[in-house]
Structure 1
Amino acid sequence: MVAKDDPIHLMIRRATSTCSVDEPSPRGRGARRELEVQEPSTKRVKPLSRVTSLASLIPPVKAAPLKRIGQTLQRSISFRSDCRPEIMAPRQIPPAVTKRRDSKLWSETFDLGLGHMLSSKDIKRQESIFELSQGEQDLIEDLKLAKKAYRDPMLKLSIMTEHELNQIFGTLDSLIPLHEDLLSRLREARKPDGSTDRVGHILVDWLPCLDTYNSYCSNQVAAKALLDHKKQDPRVQDFLQRCLESPFSRKLDLWSFLDVPRSRLVKYPLLLREILKHTPNAHPDQQHLEEAINMIQSIVADINTQTGESECRFYKERLLYLESGQKDLLIDSSRILSCHGELKNNRGAKLHVFLFQDVLVITRAVTQNEQLWYQLYRQPIPVRELEWEDLQDGEMRLGGSIRGAFSNHERTKNFFRVVFRSGGQLQSHSFQASDAFNKQQWLNCIRQAKEAVGCAGARRCAPPRGCLDCSMMDTTEASLGLSTERPQT
């Protein structure tokens, strides 16, 4: 209960006296009339339209409950008057400002008057060395952000289990001290005037540490698959969306941060070549830089090989066979996955096609036990027996009855055909790529796969009469008894 002498009560009482709702008592009328006769007021009364609510008259208070009461009053209480109160515009919440990472140049960072002493080539060399150092700092910040803003909160809030987070983030923690070490060495090599004479010997000594990337990059295929699967969980999706909308994310999703190390790894050869490009022939750093470039190229090639083998194993383990006859020793012996992705047949059915080193496997992406799998759609095709044909736009028949010339041209674009012999009968599959570039990539991969297995060049084919197009033998999705889902490529 509020005392009548309370300041808030007095302010409300004064406000209500200007526009009273209740009929005043005779005593009150007399007192007021007597006051008006004795002291005629010359003070201008504030129009009622200027007063929006009682809450605007209440002084701010620190207590949270009173703040909520004030907000309630402002929304619900108003005076009855012939003049309408002024309507306040709703409060606009400014959007969060996205943090942008500034691009820094050596010449802008170290304003030490060296410009008149260095040639244009020397300045470019310093810029390249500084870019290497600045890139290490940016990488470290991103790795720490991934751990602090994503992994730790999701573990603390039980959004994912520790085992799931370990699978998704892999050995990310071990990469942070690795790059902190390189950054520290580069900064120690920088002279007080901001310039750096030599970095080659630092890199030759440090690059072998990148073997740590083998396990991180090899885990990325399984990590991406698990992350995509966990996004189906509303709690995970909500958390990741909130992070994406926050300024710290720079509009990048979680996977962008997890893929930063791999992107940095493949950039090292370019960075070192750029430094070497601006290094004079007689410079003592030249020999070490050439050695470092050879080292990083060999390291990247080795990691690519191991990552490719890991990816190949992952997808082989995700294949589902409808019958034992579909199993093929060529699949089991494959160590390289040349390419894979979603293609459509001429009936519009989505297929996921894998081109291993020795065999082409056509599957349907299916969901089973809340996991994405790939169910074999037709018998695997040995690459050695595979022939291909690049179909011109509009040449493909759709649905087995309508000619391309009488159908929508967009539906008959970017088709190619693969043909092979099975049981004495030629069979073919017609595939539609998403665009012309994707189609050309598939044809290039098929050509290279055939060359790798010893064929004297890839042969173009034209299926003879009676050739059975397997895409015309499409079974319905319902007959498989499994739900389909668009795969991630």
Structure 2
Amino acid sequence: MLIIYVFFKLLKLSSCGFQEPSNKRVKPVGKSNSLTGVLPQMKTPALKRLSQSISRSISFRTDARPLPPALPRSRQKPSSFPRRRNSQCWSDTVESHDLTAKEIKRQEVIYELTQGERQLIEDLSLVKKVYYDPMLKLDIMSESELGQIFGTLESLIPLHTDLLSRLERLRGSEKTVGEVGPTLLNWFPCLEAYVTYCCNQVGAKALLDQKKNEKRVEHFLRLCQESSFSRKLDLWNFLDLPRSRLVKYPLLLKEIQKCTPPEHPDEDYLPDALELIQNIVAEVNKKTGEAECQFYRRGLHYLEDSQRLPEIQQSRFIYCHGELKNNKGQRLHVFLFELALVLTKPGEEKDGGHVFNVYRQPLPNALINLEEIPDGEAAGGGTFRGAFTGGNDKVKNCFRVSSRGRSKFNPYILQANDSFCKQQWITCLRQAIVQSRDRTAQTSQSQLSLHPESGLCHIAEQIACGESA
């Protein structure tokens, strides 16, 4: 009976129509194709052509999709969430205007900023009404679990509603915006609330993935995903929308600044506003990286005390992590922490988190020797070739990691899923090695200045390690 109730509940919500979220990740400005999708018929041909040209150059929104066929009229109360977003640009809202091409472009970007706020508010409201509230009322998840997954999402709605109200008040009777810099400079500090929300996302994603293994949760989320209001997107797409919106602000602000003339009053505010939002995004990224590092570090299960390297505990972020195969064909989950490389085998989930059993001895990044293995090269004995190639002589997407000056450690030969994944690992490893060695060198210099005798011994040890490698 519960499933039938949920199904009809979703049908009712779907029939009312809901706002659809954007499912595209943030892309650099030059790689976008359209500001607002397909541009409707313009009332002024010259303005239309100019607007289309501008749209191709400054777009941050999803590619155009054909509109669905018109639905028969219903007597039901219309939903506050339209089924499709109105792909309208600023030029559609004015009959005609005596503006330069640069000023029209500026108005288009400001309008895109305003519309983006409106759409985000609708998306976040949808998440609460369609996902959070029903799962709580139907006892599909506990209030504590929902709190962990959704975090502070609800508190972001009034925050963005405030910005939307401010932007709409700036629009004059002629539907143009004069100064936008002071408003953004005053509002951007509110985005520091994103630190809490984004830091929670690592644990939220892990718990959500775990709960999807429960039949009732999986069934409810599947019904939602198959309904029209979700546009086939899963819950996580919605929960990740605030982070995606956050990283768009610097891009939009750069476009506004680019098409603002030198004599414009905004010239005194936009540089400061851009610097402020870039610093906020950097701080959110830093704190989120630290939270991710702590989350996975807590999940490490050491089989021996010798595996507990101080470099692991001292690491503040993770360069990358993911699945690789070893020379026996075993699937490993490898973590490249700021200061150490750790190979693990995923274990059973425990207390709402993943467990990773540490495999073999972790390596400090400063002592890593990295070697690419060209595709097709026989990189080891028969066991290696058989594990990776099924008996063929060709080996692909592999690299070797060994330890400088520690011959007792056998090298790690690892295989990525494809060439792109291999290159990502190679790039991250090289970056981690260089930065860790620079850090070690700086530490050695500090020790030398404070304790000359011990510092010289440490340098001699490092030289000896390098010669024996």
Measured on the aligned residues, the alpha-carbon RMSD in Å equals 2.5
Following TM superposition, by how much is the alpha carbon of 1:100 offset from its aligned partner in structure 2, in angstroms?
Answer: 3.6
- 1:429 counterpart (383, 388, 412): 412
Cα displacement (A) at 1:198? 1.2
> Once the two structures are aligned, what percentage of the paired residues are identical?
52
Deviation at 1:162, TM superposition (A): 0.2
Query: Cα deviations across residues 429-463 of structure 1 (Å, max 9, x unaligned)?
Result: 11111222221111111111111123599xxxxxx
Q: How does 1:328-339 map onto structure 2 within 5 Å?
A: 328-339=309-320
Q: Cα 1:223–1:406, aligned 2, differ >3 Å: closer, same or farther?
A: closer
Question: Which residue of structure 1 aligns with residue 371 of structure 2?
Answer: 389
1:63-112, CA deviations, whole angstroms, 9 ceiling, x for partnerless residues? xxxxxxxxxxxxxxxxxxxxxxxxxxxxxxx999994434221111x133
Residues 103, 333 of structure 1: alpha-carbon distance in 2 compared, 3 angstrom cutoff: same
Distance in 1, matches of 2:144 and 2:386, equals 53
Letter paired with 1:366: G
TM score, norm. by length of structure 1: 0.70
Structure 1 residues 179 and 216: CA distance shift in structure 2, 3 A: same
SS of match in other structure, 2:336: strand
Task: Quote the Cα distance in structure 2 between the aligned partners of 1:226 and 1:406.
Answer: 36
Q: Is the Cα–Cα contact under 8 Å of residues 329 and 387 in structure 2 kept in the other structure? A: no
Task: Indicate the residue corresponding to 1:326 in structure 2.
Answer: 307
Matching of residue 450 in structure 1 with residue 433 in structure 2: yes
- Aligned partner of 2:288 among 307, 325, 328: 307
Give a deviation string over 1:202-251, Cα, whole Å, max 9, x none: 00000011110010000000000000000000100000000001111122
What is the one-letter code of the residue matched to 1:386?
Answer: I
4+ long deviations beyond 6 Å: 94-98, 403-406
Counterpart CA distance in 2 for 1:289 and 1:174 is: 27
Matches within 5 A, 1:73-84: none
Aligned residue pairs total: 361
8 Å Cα contact 1:328/1:380 also seen in 2: yes
| Correspondence for 1:288 among 269, 279, 283 | 269
Q: CA deviation at 1:407?
A: 4.7
Distance 1:401 1:212, change over 3 A: closer
Alignment counterpart, residue 205 of structure 2, candidates 195, 216, 224 = 224
Contact 1:421/1:427 (<8 A) preserved: no
What SS does the corresponding residue of 1:372 show, helix, strand or coil? coil
Which residue of the partner structure matches residue 16 of structure 1?
none
| CA distance in structure 2 between the aligned counterparts of 1:440 and 1:363, rounded to whole angstroms | 21
Judged with a 3 Å threshold, the aligned counterparts in structure 2 of structure 1 residues 456 and 328 are, in CA distance, closer, same or farther, namely closer
* Deviation at residue 348 of structure 1 after TM alignment: 2.0
When Rg is computed on C-alpha atoms for both structures, the one with the higher figure is 1
User: Does the 8 A contact of 2:389 with 2:395 survive in 1?
Assistant: no
Partner of 2:88: 104
Q: Which moved more, 1:130-139 or 1:324-333?
A: 324-333
Say whether 1:275 aligns with 2:256. yes
Aligned to 2:396: 413
Distance in 2 (CA, whole Å) between partners of 1:403 and 1:196 is 64
**1:406, CA displacement in angstroms?**
9.3
Query: For residues 259 and 401 of structure 1, what CA distance do their matches in structure 2 show?
Result: 41
After TM superposition, the score normalised by the length of structure 2 is 0.73
Opposite residue 419 of structure 1, the aligned amino acid is: S
Instruction: Give 1 or 2: higher helix fraction.
Output: 2
Q: 5 Å matches for 1:321-400?
A: 321-369=302-350, 371-395=353-377, 396-397=379-380, 399-400=383-384
The structural deviation recorded for 1:346 is: 2.8
- Structure 2, unmatched stretches of 5+, are 1-67, 72-81, 441-468
Q: Work out the CA distance in 2 between the residues paired with 1:285 and 1:258.
A: 34
Offset from partner CA, 1:370-416 (integer Å, 9 cap, x none)? 7521100111111111110111111134624659899558x722111
The one-letter code matched in structure 2 to 1:286 is: E
Q: Which of structures 1 and 2 has the larger relative contact order (alpha carbons within 8 angstroms, sep 6+)?
A: 2
CA distance in 2, matches of 1:455, 1:235: 52
Alpha-carbon distance in structure 1 between the residues aligned to 2:387 and 2:345: 26
- State the AA in 1 paired with 2:87: S
For residue 355 of structure 2, what is the amino acid of its counterpart? Answer: W
Task: Look up the equivalent residue of 1:123 and give its one-letter code.
Answer: I
C-alpha change, 1:95 and 1:280, in structure 2 (3 Å) is closer
